[in-house]
Amino acid sequence: MAGVCRVKRLREWAAARGADGNDRFAARRRSGSSHMALAGVLFCVVSFWGQAWRVLTLGDHNTRVVLLGTVTLGVSGGVVGVFMLLRKQALLGDVVSHSALPGVAMAFMVMEAFVPGSGKSLPALLAGAALGGIAGMLCTRAIGRWTRIKDDAAMAIVLSVFFGIGISLFTVIQRLPAGNSAGLSHFIYGKAASMKVDDVRVIGAAALAALVICGLLMKEFAVVAFDERFSAVQGWPVVWLDVGLMTLVVVICVIGLQSVGLLLVVSLLIIPAASARFWTDRLVAMLAISGLIGGFSALAGVTISAVYPRVATGATIVLCGSAVFGLSLLLGRRHGFVPRMLAQSGARHRARRYGARDERNGDRDGTRGGGRDVD
Amino acid sequence: MWIEAWRHLAHWTSVDGWIIATGAVAAMACALPGCFLVVRKQSMMGDALSHAALPGIVLAFLLVHGLRGAGWLSLESVAAWRHASLLAGAIAVGIVCAVGSELLQKVGRVESSAALGVVFTSLFALGLLLVRLVADKVDIDPDCVLYGALENVILYEVTPWGIPRAFLTNGLMLGLNGAVFALFFKELRVSAFDPTLAMSLGIHAPALHYLLMAITAVTLVTAFESVGSILVIAMLIVPAATAYLLTDRLSRMMWVGLLIAALSSLLGHALATVATPMVFSRLGYPEVRDASTSGMIAVAAGLLFTSAMVLGPRYGLLSRFVARWLLAHRVAREDVLGLLYRAAERAERRAPLSLALIREGLARGTTSIWLAMRDLRWRRWIERATDGWLLTADGHDAARQLVRSHRLWESFLARNYPARTLLHESAERVEHFIDEALRAELADELGSPTIDPHGAVIPPDSPGDLGTRRDEPRSVLSDP
C-alpha cells in the first residue's frame, strides 16, 4: 500500500517536473543534487579499503606515477573521444591502434639495424607507432574514397591487414638474435604497472598538448563534426581540421599503447564520450563530463588493480568505464533510461488528469471532452 | 633469385601441405559469412564478434573445468565437451554482442558505431581480466588466442587417420556454412539488400540477422585455433571485399571469395616460408627462417585486395583510369571532326584547316589534340592538304553523323525547353553519346527537321537524302 502511494507520488513529482522541463535553472538544480549524491556513494565505496585509501593519498611512489600517467591519458582520451563520437567515427581509434603495431615493429628493427641495442627506446617505438597509425588512417580514407568499398569494410580491411603485418614482423623479431619481443608485446596488452617517470613525462606532455589543441580548436572541430558541408561553405579548412583531429586520435592511441595496450585503447576514446552524452546536450559540458569520466575510470582502475595485484590494469580501467557507462545509461539526467521513463509516465499522467481521452480510463465524466464517438 | 625460391619451395613437406590446406579451409569457411557482412555494411560487427568471443571462450573453459572438478565429466570426455562448450560460449557471446549493441542503439539511443564499440571493448576487457585471473585453473595462452599457432596445431593435434584435427573441424565448419548459405541464400540476399521487402514477403529479417551473427561467431571460434582471433577478421572480410571489387552478383561474389581465400592461404604460406628468409638473408639476418603463417595469410589477403583494387577489370583504379582516358581521347577525336566539318560548311570550296586554327578552335591541351590527329590520320578520316587538314569521304561521313546528333539535340531542347538559352553548350557535351538509334528516335519525334534553332542545316542521315525530302526547310522553332 505504501509502495503504491510512493509510486503515485513519484508520478506526480515527475509530472510536476515535466511541466517546467524548459526551466534551465530547475535543470541545473536537479542535476547538481543528483551528481553530488552519486559522487558521495562512490566515494564511500572506494574509501572502504585501507589500501585503496593509501593509493588515493598517493602514498606509494610507483602507484603515484602510474596514477598520474593514466589519469592524464583518461582525461585527454575522453575529450578527444567526444569529437570522434560527434563525427560518428568512433571506431576509427581501433583502426589507428591496430595499424600502430607494424610501425612499432619496424621502428624496432630499424633502430636495431642502425644502433644495436637501442631497439627498445620508447620515443623511437612511439614514433613508429604514430607513423603506423597515420599510414592506417590514410589507407582507410584512400580505400573509402577511391573504390566502391564502404567505410566500415575499409576500416576492417586496414585493421586486419596491418595487424597481420605487425604480427608477422613480431615473429620475425623473435627469431632475431637481438630481439626478444617480450618488451614489445606489452604494447598489445598494456603494462601500466611498469610505467616509469620518463614515460609519464612523455604521456603527460602529449596529453596536455592534445587538451590544449582541443581547447583552442573546439569551435572549429565542433562545426566540422556537426555539419561538414556548411563549414566548407563558410570557408573553414575542413580537410586540415580533419587531419588535425585524426592526428590527435593518433597521439592518444600512441600514448595509450603503454598503459592499456592497443587492443583496449579505443575504449578510452569511446566509453567516456558515450557516457557523457547521457548527461547533457551542450558541447562544453559534454567535454568536461567526458574528461571527468575518463579520468575517474582511470583512477578507479589503477586503484583496484593496485589493491588486487592479479588484476590487469588496462582491463580494469575499461571495465570501470563500462560501469560508469551503465550507470549513465540508466540514470543520466538528459537521456538516461530512468528519467526518460519517468518523464513519459509523468506526461501520460498529466494528459489523463487534464481530460484527454484514453481508452483505459474511458470517459468517466460525461461532460468533459465530449462523449464517445462510437459505442 | 628464382633458384633460391625454388630451393625453399622444395623443402615443403606434407606438414606444409596440411598447413596450407587447413588455412585454406578456415579462410573459406570465414569468407562465406564475410560476404554477407560486407554487403550488409556490418564488417565491424565481425571485428566486434572476434574481440567479444574471448570472454565466451574463457567462461566455457571455466565451465568445463568446474564440471570436471565437480565430477560430472570424465577426463577423456573433457576434450570433446570443451569444443562443444567453446562453440556454445561463442554463440552466446555473439548473440549478446549483437543484441546488446542493438539495444543500446534503439533503447539507449547511442550512435551505432559507438554502441558496438562500447559493447565489444567491455566484453573483451572482461575476457582479458578473466584470462589473467584464472590462468592457473585453465590453460589458455592469451597470445595463442590472439594470433594463433597454425604450425603447432598441425603438428601436435593429429587424429588417428593422420589428418590434423584442425583441418577436420574447419572442414566441417566449411561444410556447415556451405549448407546453411545454400539453403537460405535467397532469403539472406533479400534481407541483406532490403529488409522491409523481406518482411513484406514473409521472410523474418531479424531472425536471419541473428542467424548470420550466430554463424559468424561459430565460424570465428572454430578458426581461432588456426589463426587467432584478430587475424580471423582478415579472413572474414578481406577476401569478401576483394570479391566485391571483382564482380557484381552476390552468388558470383561468394564463389570468387572462396577462391581468393584459398589463394591467400597458399600465398601466405609461401610468403612466410619462402619470401621471408630470402628478404631477411639479404638484409643481413640469415637466422630468420620463417615468419608466422597466420600473419602472412593476412598479408597475402591484403596483397590480393590491393591488386584487385588497382587492376580489377571493372572497378580497378587502373581500368577506370584507362577507360576515362579512352573516353577523353574519343571526345577529342570527335571534336576535331566537328571542327573540320563546320569549317568546310562555312567555306565555299575545299579549305584546309591548319593545325594552329584547330588548336585555337578547341579548348584542349596540345598532347590530346596531337594524339587525336594521329588517330584520325590512322583511320584515314583526315588527310594532309597543302596548308592544313581536310576531311576524307569517310571522315566526312563520321563528322556528318556527329553534327546531325548535335543539331538534332539542339532542336529537341528548343522544342521541349523553350526558355533554355544554352543549347550549344549542352549539345557539345551530349553529341558524343547519341548513337544511331537515338538519332532516329529524335528525328521521328521532332518530325525530321532540316534546320536547327540557330538556322544551320541539319545534315541528313545519309548523303543522298537532302534531295529526296520535301522542299521547304523545316525547323523546330517554326512549328505552331
Quick check: A375 pLDDT over 50? no
State the average pLDDT for chain A: 82
A331 close to A342: Cβ distance less than 8 angstroms: no
Query: What pLDDT was estimated at residue A17?
Result: 57
Q: Which residue has the higher pLDDT, B159 or B249?
A: B249
Mean of pLDDT values over A284-298: 95
CB contact under 8 A, B309 and A143: yes
- pLDDT at residue A2 above 50? no
pLDDT at residue A143 tops 50: yes
Residue A345 has pLDDT above 80, yes or no: yes
**Which range among A36-40, B22-26, B386-390 shows the weakest confidence by mean pLDDT?**
A36-40
Task: Considering only residues A308 and A295, tell me which one the structure prediction assigns the higher pLDDT.
Answer: A295
pLDDT digits (tens, 9 = 90+) for A151-173: 999 999 999 999 999 988 988 88
Verify whether the Cβ–Cβ distance B113 to A90 is below 8 Å. Answer: yes
Q: What are the angstrom distances between the C-alpha of B456 and each of A326, B111, B339, B440?
A: 76, 61, 15, 19
Closest chain B residue to A155 measured between Cα atoms? B44
Q: Which of B114, B133, B142 sits opposite A310 (nearest CB)?
A: B133
- For B290-340, write each residue's pLDDT tens digit: 888 888 999 999 999 999 999 999 899 999 999 999 999 999 999 999 999
Mean pLDDT of chain B: 87
Q: How far apart are CA A162 and CA B128, in angstroms?
A: 22
- Please report the pLDDT score of residue A146 as a whole number: 92
pLDDT value of position A172: 87
Distance in angstroms (rounded) separating the CA atoms of residues B248 and B380? 39
Question: Mind telling me how many Å the CA of A366 is from chain B's nearest CA?
Answer: 38
Residue A371 pLDDT grade (very low, low, confident, very high; cuts 50, 70, 90) = very low
Q: Which residue of B has its CA nearest to A322?
A: B122
| pLDDT over 90, % of chain B | 44
Q: Which residue has the higher pLDDT, A193 or B57?
A: B57
pLDDT of residue A163: 92
Half-sphere exposure (Cβ direction) of B298: Cα atoms closer than 13 Å: 32
* Local confidence band at B149 (pLDDT 50, 70, 90 cut-offs): confident
Of A113, A172, A270, the CB nearest to B121: A270
CA-based radius of gyration for chain A: 25
Average pLDDT score over residue span B73-101: 80
Question: Is 60 exceeded by the pLDDT of residue A361?
Answer: no
B471 pLDDT band, cuts 50/70/90, is low
pLDDT exceeds cutoff 50 at A19: no
Please say whether the beta carbons of A106 and A117 come within 8 A.
no
Q: How confident is the model at residue A21 (pLDDT cuts 50, 70, 90)?
A: very low
Q: Provide the sign of the torsion angle of the four alpha carbons B89, B91, B97, B100, taken in this order.
A: negative
pLDDT at A363 over 80: no
Contact A161 B299 (CB under 8 A): yes
Contact A188 B146 (CB under 8 A): yes
User: What average pLDDT does range B95-112 have in this prediction?
Assistant: 88
Please provide the DSSP assignment of A284-349 as one string: HHHHHHHHHHHHHHHHHHHHHHHHSTTS-HHHHHHHHHHHHHHHHHHH-TTT-HHHHHHHHHHHHH
Q: What is the ipTM of this complex?
A: 0.85
Q: Please tell me the predicted confidence (pLDDT) of residue A10.
A: 58
> If residue B404 lies in a helix (H) or strand (E), which one and from where to where?
helix B393-416
Across B419-434, average pLDDT: 90
Assess whether pLDDT exceeds 90 at residue B449: no
Q: Is the pLDDT of residue A134 over 90?
A: yes
Query: For residue B162, what pLDDT band results from cuts at 50, 70 and 90?
Result: confident
Q: Tell me the nearest-neighbour CA distance from B188 into chain A, angstroms.
A: 19
Set of chain B residues whose Cβ sits within 8 Å of the Cβ of A106:
none
Contact A161 B301 (CB under 8 A): yes
Q: Which of A84, A160, A162, A271 to mutate to test the interface with B (most CBs of B within 10 A)?
A: A160
Would you say residue B467 has pLDDT above 60? Answer: no
- pLDDT at position A278 is 94
Who wins on pLDDT, B117 or A356?
Answer: B117
